[in-house]
Amino acid sequence: GEDVEQSLFLSVREGDSSVINCTYTDSSSTYLYWYKQEPGAGLQLLTYIFSNMDMKQDQRLTVLLNKKDKHLSLRIADTQTGDSAIYFCAESIYSGGGADGLTFGKGTHLIIQP
């Protein structure tokens, strides 16, 4: 079955880089996603990567995908207090077309120290 694993907490100092890691099991996943959830809010898509890519960069965000190891990471450069949130890694659970649902990891709570 599909499973997505993440560490539950990450603490970094303001201005440092944050690296959030994720492993997944479904090798047929076409897309992998990072969602952000701020306290009391819904989920916001941060970025996604197609499975034939190794890396994607979008301003302060860098996504690295190691398909062989089924490992996905999200790097946030120059971490700010506004980055404090829960970050969810997700993969599509049905890759054959139609209504793909997402399997989410348990979420990584990013804590920013001043």
Binding site for another protein (CB under 8 A): 30-31, 33, 35, 37, 41-45, 48, 50, 86, 88, 92-94, 97-104, 106-107
Nearer to another protein, 9 or 113 (CB): 9
Q: What angle do CA 107, 109, 114 make, to 5 degrees?
A: 160
State how far the alpha carbon of 84 is from the alpha carbons of 57, 70, 95, in Å.
Answer: 20, 26, 32
Nearer to another protein, 32 or 112 (CB): 32
Nearer to another protein, 1 or 82 (CB): 1
Give me the least distance between CB of 96 and another protein, in Å please: 9
Type of residue found at 20: I
- CA 77 vs. chain centroid, Å, equals 14
